[in-house]
């Protein structure tokens, strides 16, 4: 599998749990605000076996593992890696995914405790934001359904760039989550410029204003709790 890097200890990737973070390399989306743009290419990172990844992810001083990317579910060895991590002890196993490969996600579910699911846009605008040839939304919806039917904690979130999404996109995502039966916290985080964003993309992206989104909290009904995390 393609691996970009391994961070021994992170206190920010899984709420309340120190984790070792494993970055897979390669992604089938091309989001302009991606903060790990250098590992979008499918040939980025290095080829490593599951055993080599395990050797580099010792688990010292942590209570869990977070596998992120890139997009981890494009790695066919991902289920084997998660299975091996789950056997290392009483660790919390978290996956970050955009949900575009539900067949692989389904294989991973038995070994997961939680999934950060990155919802990129309202269903009708996925191709524009992710810059894909075909809409990945049907597959994303399948992934949501799979997670809702499982015992895995689903943590949906969206990165909001002011000139890429609109408040209506967030309202549409909330409505979809409610229709699918999700109850819980939905995180909306602001796009923040960083060195990991491609320079050619950063010039066209703007940080959104929190006040432009605060009204959507009132529009959220049912069991969806909107958590605006603006930095």
pLDDT digits (tens, 9 = 90+) for 135-178: 999 999 999 999 999 999 999 999 999 889 999 999 999 999 99
Whether pLDDT at 100 is above 70: yes
Q: What is the pLDDT of residues 19-64, one digit of tens each?
A: 999 999 999 999 999 999 999 999 999 999 999 999 999 888 999 9
Alpha-carbon gap, residue 74 to 219, rounded angstroms: 35
| 2-229: CATH superfamily | Aldolase class I (3.20.20.70)
Antiparallel, parallel or unpaired: β 2-10 and 92-97: unpaired
- Say what the pLDDT of residue 61 is: 94
Q: Which residues contact 218 (CB under 8 A, 6 or more apart)?
A: none
* % of the chain exceeding 70 in pLDDT: 98
CA–CA gap between residue 206 and residue 214 (Å, rounded): 18
Q: For residues 126 and 140, is the Cβ–Cβ distance under 8 A?
A: yes
The pTM (predicted TM-score) of the whole model is: 0.95
CB 157 within 8 A of CB 186: yes
- The reported pLDDT for the residue numbered 221 is 62
The structural domains of the chain, with segments of one domain joined by +, span: 2-229
């Amino acid at each position: 599998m393609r691996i970009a890097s391994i961070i021994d200890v992170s206190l920010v990737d899984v709420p309340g749990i120190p984790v070792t973070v494993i970055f897979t390399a390669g992604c089938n989306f091309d989001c302009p605000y991606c903060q790990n743009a250098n590992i979008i290419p499918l040939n980025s990172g290095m080829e490593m076996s599951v055993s080599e990844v395990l050797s580099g992810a010792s688990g010292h001083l942590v209570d869990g593992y977070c596998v992120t990317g890139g997009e981890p579910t494009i790695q066919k060895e991902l289920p084997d890696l998660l299975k091996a991590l789950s056997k290392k002890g009483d660790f919390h196993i978290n996956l970050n995914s955009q949900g575009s490969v539900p067949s692989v996600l389904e294989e991973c579910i038995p070994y997961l405790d939680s999934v950060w699911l990155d919802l990129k846009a309202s269903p009708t605008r996925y191709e524009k934001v992710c810059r894909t040839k075909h809409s990945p939304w049907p597959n994303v919806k399948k992934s949501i359904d799979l997670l809702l039917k499982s015992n895995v904690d689903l943590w949906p979130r969206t990165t909001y760039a002011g000139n890429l999404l609109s408040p209506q996109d967030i309202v549409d995502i909330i409505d979809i989550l409610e229709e699918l039966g999700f109850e819980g916290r939905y995180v909306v985080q602001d796009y923040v410029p960083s060195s990991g964003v491609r320079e050619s993309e950063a010039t066209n992206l703007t940080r959104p204003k929190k006040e432009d989104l605060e009204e959507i909290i009132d529009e959220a009904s049912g069991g969806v709790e909107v958590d605006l995390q603006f930095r």
